[in-house]
Amino acid sequence: MPKIFGVDIKKYQNEYTFAASIAMGISCHRDAYVVVEGATDEVLFSELFNECVRFHVAEGKTRVVAIMKLLEGYEIKRAFGIVDADYWPLTGDKPNLPNLFLTDTPDVESQVVMSEAFRKAVKNYCNTKFIDELLRQEGLEGHLAVRNILVNGAAKLGYIRYMSQKEKKSIDFKGVDFNSFVDIQTLAVDDKKLCDFLDSSGRASHTLSAQWLSLYSNEDNDPWRFACGHDIVSLMVLALQRSNLGWRENRDSYNKDDIEAGLRQAYETRHFRETCLCRNIEDWAQRSLGTSLVRN
């Protein structure tokens, strides 16, 4: 199969055309180009970068990587890509591309949750009386107590997902029923029920998933390395719908898309500037373009 700069052109014909169009655009003006995975990424980052940045949506991480390989081969210096880190920091699978940048956490959504934007979302969606009670019980600000519970639960799923990839088990996590293993009283993930669910749904044997969870609990793991944003939000929605975290009169209206959109809207430039992702992009921009790309 024909390859250009390590990219299989027969497989990635669209990416080749994509990269060529970016190269053509750069030859006509001096704007920078950023290639992102999806449309929601464009919505988020378009509010963070200044008017000198043009966006292209590649529809997937693999496509972003292919496009950046092509652009690097063409020695195009005014284009960069942003992708979800997933588990690359753990596996060392990140391609050696100076114009490709990873989120600080496994994905954009979890990076937003990690920021102070989560505090605003909690105020918008959560029952303040419940938050005040958590403050008394946990000794943390209410939104931090909620976030810790959700992230710790999502990290268990994330670790199983990571081990599934590492050991090439190809476990399907689509359509996971969070009701089956979340304790509505504490909002925590019940390990045994999670293993039972994975076993009964044919995803992984109880023995295997229990072994992985045991590894996770016995290691000094940072839950932010494994917790995926979509899992965090799914747990949050379940809690809003079925526990005192949500306003009783609003329980039927809580949904995942709205919560994720609300989190993105709450995410501001000041939050972005605190990330390694932002600092890495700004360092690259100063070296390659001699200017900043992030809004003031």
**DSSP code per residue over 95-123:** ---TTEEE-SSSSHHHHHHHSTHHHHHHH
* Range in 14-28, 184-198, 252-266 the model is least confident about: 14-28
Residues 230, 264: Cα–Cα separation, whole Å:
13
Residue 272, phi then psi, degrees to nearest 5 = -65, -40
CA angle at residue 291 from 288 to 292, to 5 degrees? 110
Average pLDDT, the chain: 89
Q: What is the pLDDT of residues 128-168, one digit of tens each?
A: 887 777 666 666 666 788 899 999 999 999 999 999 999 99
Q: What is the pLDDT of residue 205?
A: 95
75-81: average pLDDT: 86
Residues 67, 79: Cα–Cα separation, whole Å:
10
Beta bridge partners of 105: none
Q: What is the pLDDT of residue 1?
A: 46
Q: What is the pLDDT of residues 171-215, one digit of tens each?
A: 888 889 999 999 988 889 999 999 999 999 999 999 999 999 999
Rg (CA), the chain: 21
| pTM, full prediction | 0.91
Q: What is the pLDDT of residue 253?
A: 86
Residue 149, phi then psi, degrees to nearest 5 = -65, -45
8 Å CB contact between 7 and 70: yes
User: Where are the alpha helices (H) located in 82-190, listed in sequence order?
Assistant: 88-91, 108-114, 117-125, 128-138, 142-166
* Spans of all domains in the chain: 3-104+275-288, 110-267
For residues 4 and 190, the model is more confident at 190
Give the H/E segment covering residue 192.
helix 191-200
Q: What is the pLDDT of residues 92-134, one digit of tens each?
A: 999 999 999 999 999 999 999 999 999 888 888 888 887 777 6
